[in-house]
Amino acid sequence: MNGSASSGTVTVTIDASSPLATVGGAALVQSASGSFLVSQTAQGTFVALTAICTHEQCTVTGFQSSRYVCPCHGSQYSTSGSVVQGPATRALQQFATRFAANVLTITL
């Protein structure tokens, strides 16, 4: 998915066909301000994390069994960003989100 970056925020439109349209959905959102892992954890509640692995700075692209998986060395993170399986030892940075009128705003 692509997001629009502007003045310290990234916005993403979430329509019915979006992988983020349902609770439990997740997507990699790419923008000029960076790449973010976004999931809908409850109806209308989203968590946005940096997509850069804390182990060796690979971009985390996989999502399976409600976990983000780094393709480089297999580190796994929960949808809140905490490390579930190493080699990473630090959590992914989390960003504030706001959802209104089908637009998700991530504040950097």
Domains and CATH numbers, the chain: 4-107 (2.102.10.10)
Q: What is the pLDDT of residue 15?
A: 94
Query: CB-side exposure of 52: number of CA atoms within 13 Å?
Result: 7
List pLDDT tens digits, range 18-27.
999 999 999 9
List pLDDT tens digits, range 46-99.
999 999 999 999 999 999 989 999 999 999 999 999 999 999 999 999 999 999
pTM: 0.95
Between vectors from CA 106 to CA 8 and to CA 51, what angle results, nearest 5°? 100
